[in-house]
Amino acid sequence: MIPQEIIRRKRDGGEISADEIAAFIAGLTREEITEGQAAAFAMAVFFRGMTRNETVALTLAMRDSGDVMRWPGIDRPVADKHSTGGVGDNVSLMLAPIVAACGLAVPMISGRGLGHTGGTLDKLQSIPGYNVMPDPDLLRRVVSEVGCAIIGQTGDLAPADRRLYAIRDVTATVESVPLITASILSKKLAAGLQTLVLDVKVGNGAFMAGCEEAQTLARSLVEVANGAGTRTTALLTDMNQPLADAAGNALEVRNAVDFLSGRKGGTRLHDVVVALAVEMLLQAGLAANQDDARVAALEALDSGKALEVFARMVHALGGPTDFVEKCDAYLPKAAVVVPVPAAEGGWLAASATRELGLAVVELGGGRKRPQDTIDHAVGLAGIQPLGTRVTKGEPLAFVHAVDQAQGEKIAASVARCFVIAAEPPEDMPVIVERIS
């Protein structure tokens, strides 16, 4: 394998064989491929794209660059879900326990916050003692005994992706559908999944703001994952406003406990969680149709079984035994809480969702640099959904901040994120499309 010949052929629009892709990725993993060659390869793919077969080969090569997990002795279907990221998207915290209570095994490999979007691992580290990087034996035991474990990517899962992503990040080649597809799926498939559901966000708080580009990514992910042997479907979901009524690490964990306790019914968040649960149960063959899957998911939620699974997962991974009962005593709290008053009366018609996520980052709830330390206590709570009628001075949200000055500054910027109109906005569905 001569790396520059592979780069040249892709640069000129040619197709690379699966063997060539595997050899290139193996060289990248062993650091026999230079950063310059990897950057040139990424740029060639950025401009020339990849066929479906090439993208499948790239995904499998990156998956096989490290350990691929196996689940001997677990008699449940092994499944997971991936979200492309949004604001107030704490779906994983509720979804994994719900479907585990229904009979799935869910080794959920999650990530840190990226840009304006929150990270599931950052949220879970609000919980004292929670181990997001358990050793393989502990992970297998938790998945076997509890049904789910939400953890981070270990150093042995898809190491080629880490190296290639770092190079893409500094060479303006992140926004390539084949490279995004291989990056996402290589990590997921390395977890030894039988089925996968994708939550592809679309809207002004998503990385893919336009419906057409979100559809393109979703179709690529579904086609490549199925081509790699993992049954996969995707839902396009709306991210033109925060999904939960909270954005910030500890605040979203508290929101998840409320959800699993039955206090968030009838919300957009509830609709998305249940829809994804239905997909996961159908794919795994644990329900005959959508109605049966929905009944099973709602029973797990309404009966308290999902809440019990969440509590057991938290304790099994090092958190407090009584976290669910006393979460307010364990979760960190901000020094001050500042309301965001409505400038006028009317209907909440639109929100600048990405800017709301950036407000959380500005508070310290996200990272401006990779080495930054997260403040788990700060964020936004009580965020009013679009379509709400408000009076002048009524709180649109509450800023949880380190001090009064910071709280008032962020409250002013959050207020500017909302559009208040004389008429209610058109009701937009939260589930935009299903792709299979």
Q: Where are the alpha helices (DSSP H) in 202-267?
A: 211-227, 249-260
* The pLDDT of residue 370: 64
Find the length of the chain. 436
* The pLDDT of residue 115: 62
Residue 396: strand, helix, or coil: strand
Residue type, 215: Q
* The pLDDT of residue 339: 98
* The pLDDT of residue 303: 97
**E strand spans, 89-162:** 106-110, 148-152
The whole-angstrom separation of Cα 260 and Cα 310 is: 8
The whole-angstrom separation of Cα 436 and Cα 421 is: 38
CB 332 within 8 A of CB 376: yes
Residue 19: strand, helix, or coil: helix
* The pLDDT of residue 291: 97
* The pLDDT of residue 168: 87
* The pLDDT of residue 253: 97
Q: Which residues on neighbouring strands pair with residue 199, listed in sequence order?
A: 83, 235
Strand pairing class (379-381; 395-401) = antiparallel
The whole-angstrom separation of Cα 423 and Cα 46 is: 44
Strand pairing class (148-152; 106-110) = parallel
CB 187 within 8 A of CB 152: no
Closest by CA position to 330, among listed 313, 307, 306, 314: 314
The whole-angstrom separation of Cα 194 and Cα 79 is: 6
The whole-angstrom separation of Cα 38 and Cα 250 is: 38
Rama region for 218: left / alpha / beta (φ>0; ψ in -120 to 50; rest): alpha
Low-confidence ranges of the chain (pLDDT < 70): 112-115, 117-118, 155, 369-370
Residue 63: strand, helix, or coil: helix
Q: Sign of the C-alpha dihedral, residues 233, 239, 244, 250?
A: positive
* The pLDDT of residue 113: 60
What is the rounded radius of gyration, in angstroms, for the C-alpha atoms of the chain?
Answer: 22
Residue type, 273: V
The whole-angstrom separation of Cα 301 and Cα 99 is: 10
Q: Which residues are tagged catalytic?
A: 80-83, 120, 168, 183, 187-188
CB 230 within 8 A of CB 192: no
* The pLDDT of residue 140: 92
What domains lie within the chain, and their CATH numbers? 3-63 (1.20.970.10), 79-316 (3.40.1030.10), 333-421 (3.90.1170.30)
pLDDT tens digit string along 343-363? Answer: 999 999 999 999 999 999 999
Terminal CA-CA length for the chain: 36
CB 107 within 8 A of CB 74: no
Locus of tokens 């995004």: 180
Locus of tokens 């703001």: 209
CB 148 within 8 A of CB 313: yes
Tokens of 155: 């150093």
